[in-house]
């Protein structure tokens, strides 16, 4: 009798398991869109670019300088009603070395490292659409609209608001000597050369 009950239960267990698997496989993109921080919104990105092998990216003052820029950028984002997003990019060949370098600066919302200047983050924010001087360290403030709907996730109207390349410009941005535009004027360095550099003071 016990063996018969076991045989009768098997089809039921299989049917329930199949139903659960089908349900998970057919979740819509709206479930993904509900992830915190991924909802449709106007955003202001603070993007730090540095390297574990760059002397200027590892000075005694660099963490404090980036922290001061982060505070100003966060305040400016709140003033114009944008979500503030922190991005860290390390120009390192060894992934673990890049992650250790970025960890010095505290929490980021997303990070990229590996493959040196061929890093996908550097390709985007230095060499391609949002072109700038290939130097470390540097900081960019980027305004964009992130759209997350039933068709998927995409970025619209991405523009560089301000870029500070090297410690001198980063100090100016940290202290307030270099201003952060409200967002009406866009400082895009489309004509800037993109020659690899070991570092910039």
* CA distance linking residue 178 with residue 173, whole number of Å: 5
pLDDT at 200: 56
Residue 34 has pLDDT above 60, yes or no: no
Q: Identify whether 188 is part of a domain.
A: no
Q: Nearest CA to 72 among 90, 86, 62, 59?
A: 86
Residue 31 has pLDDT above 60, yes or no: no
Residues 160 and 117 in one domain: yes
Residues 135 and 150 in one domain: yes
* Total domains in the fold of the chain: 2
Residues 70 and 158 in one domain: yes
The boundaries of the domain holding residue 20 are 2-28
Q: Identify whether 182 is part of a domain.
A: no
Q: Identify whether 199 is part of a domain.
A: no
pLDDT at 123: 95
Average pLDDT over residues 113-124: 95
Average pLDDT over residues 154-161: 91
Q: Identify whether 166 is part of a domain.
A: yes
Residue 22 has pLDDT above 80, yes or no: no
Q: Identify whether 20 is part of a domain.
A: yes
| pLDDT, greater one: 92 or 184 | 92
Q: Identify whether 102 is part of a domain.
A: yes
pLDDT at 201: 54
Average pLDDT over residues 171-175: 98
Residues 15 and 109 in one domain: no
Enumerate the β-bridge partners of residue 153.
148
């Amino acid at each position: 009798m016990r063996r018969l009950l076991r045989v009768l239960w098997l089809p039921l267990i299989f049917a329930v398991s199949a139903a659960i698997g089908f349900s998970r496989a057919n979740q819509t993109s709206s479930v993904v869109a509900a992830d915190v921080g991924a909802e449709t919104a106007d955003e202001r990105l603070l993007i730090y670019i540095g390297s574990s092998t760059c002397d200027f990216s590892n000075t005694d003052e660099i963490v404090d300088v980036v922290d001061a820029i982060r505070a100003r950028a966060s305040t400016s984002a709140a003033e114009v009603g944008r979500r503030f997003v922190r991005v860290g990019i390390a120009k390192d060949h060894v992934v673990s070395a890049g992650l250790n370098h970025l960890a010095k600066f505290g929490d980021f919302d997303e990070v990229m490292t590996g493959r040196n200047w061929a890093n996908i983050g550097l390709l985007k924010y230095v060499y391609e659409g949002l072109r700038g001087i290939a130097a470390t360290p540097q900081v960019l403030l980027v305004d964009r609209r992130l759209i997350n709907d039933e068709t998927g996730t995409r970025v619209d109207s991405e523009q560089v608001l301000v870029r500070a390349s090297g410690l001198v410009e980063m100090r100016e941005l940290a202290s307030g000597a270099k201003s952060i535009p409200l967002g009406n004027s866009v400082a895009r360095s489309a004509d800037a050369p993109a020659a690899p550099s070991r570092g910039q003071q």
